[in-house]
């Protein structure tokens, strides 16, 4: 099935640094979601975006719904060790079915 | 947000056997879904579990291999039938009213 392309695939950052990752699609989506998955757990919803151009924050996280509706980005400010994990974007078209991105693995160096 | 539990959390099964995974939500939800996540990979939708009717399967997934039940608005099961080592994966259920929330997953290993 279709997958969304996420970049980078993985990243090593220093604690305290800001992080940026993005997600692109060849298809238009009506909703963009960002999830974080820790080892042995299911994905946890971080941010949901419903309108093209929308910019939404959740604590140190900020995400934007691209104006073309084919992309989204997620920023994490002042990263901390518990930010380690895999971040997935997901897009929904006209229905409720989600298409997931390929994932960005974040590793934080103390 | 809905709280979702899955049973079993993990299992090791023999080739040719079947395993039924249960998913329980703490409140009534409109939609329930089943996903597969192979090691180190992203999530792939298997099917939408429809309450009171047959599930809607995605391309590449069939009812004979992955029968699904959804008897009410809080519960669903996924059976992985006639298992082979290629079925080793994490199976996740999700539930949605507005946003979609996920259970903790069932880690299946087939020998």
Cβ separation of A41 and B33 shorter than 8 Å? no
Cβ separation of A1 and B42 shorter than 8 Å? no
Numbered residues of chain A with Cβ closer than 8 Å to any chain B Cβ: 1, 3, 33, 35, 40-45, 48, 88, 90, 96-103
Structure tokens at A58: 């959740």
DSSP state of B42: -
The CA distance from A109 to B7, in Å, is 35
Numbered residues of chain B with Cβ closer than 8 Å to any chain A Cβ: 1, 4, 31, 33, 42-45, 48, 58-60, 92, 94, 96, 99-105, 107
pLDDT digits (tens, 9 = 90+) for B91-111: 999 999 888 999 999 999 999
Evaluate if residue A94 carries a pLDDT over 80: no
Cβ separation of B42 and A45 shorter than 8 Å? no
Q: Which residues pair with B34 in a beta bridge?
A: B47, B93
- Tell me how many residue pairs between chain A and chain B have CB atoms under 8 A apart: 53
**H or E stretch covering B16:** none
Evaluate if residue A2 carries a pLDDT over 90: no
The torsion angles phi and psi of A83, rounded to 5 degrees, stand at -75, -10
Evaluate if residue B75 carries a pLDDT over 90: yes
A16 three-state secondary structure: coil
The CA distance from A87 to A38, in Å, is 9
pLDDT digits (tens, 9 = 90+) for A69-87: 999 999 999 999 999 999 9
Structure tokens at A13: 């950052």
């Amino acid at each position: 099935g279709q997958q969304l392309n996420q970049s980078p695939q993985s990243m090593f950052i220093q604690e305290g640094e800001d992080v940026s990752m993005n997600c692109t699609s060849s298809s238009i989506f009506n909703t963009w979601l960002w999830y974080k998955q820790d080892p042995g757990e299911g994905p946890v919803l971080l941010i949901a975006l419903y309108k093209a151009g929308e910019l939404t924050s959740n604590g140190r996280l900020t995400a934007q719904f691209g104006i073309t509706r084919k992309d989204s980005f997620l920023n994490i400010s002042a990263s901390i060790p518990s930010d380690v994990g895999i971040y997935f974007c997901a897009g929904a078209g006209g229905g409720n079915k989600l298409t997931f991105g390929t994932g960005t693995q974040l590793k934080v160096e103390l | 947000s809905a709280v979702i539990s899955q049973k079993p959390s993990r299992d090791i099964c023999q080739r040719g056997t079947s395993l039924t995974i249960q998913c329980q939500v703490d409140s009534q939800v409109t939609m329930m879904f089943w996903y597969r996540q192979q090691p180190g990979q992203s999530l792939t939708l298997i099917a939408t579990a429809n309450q009171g009717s047959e599930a809607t399967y995605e391309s590449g997934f069939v009812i004979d291999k992955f029968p699904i039940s959804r008897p009410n608005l809080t519960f669903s099961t996924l059976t992985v039938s006639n298992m082979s080592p290629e079925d080793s994966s994490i199976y996740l259920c999700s539930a949605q009213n507005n946003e979609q929330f996920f259970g903790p997953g069932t880690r299946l290993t087939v020998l």
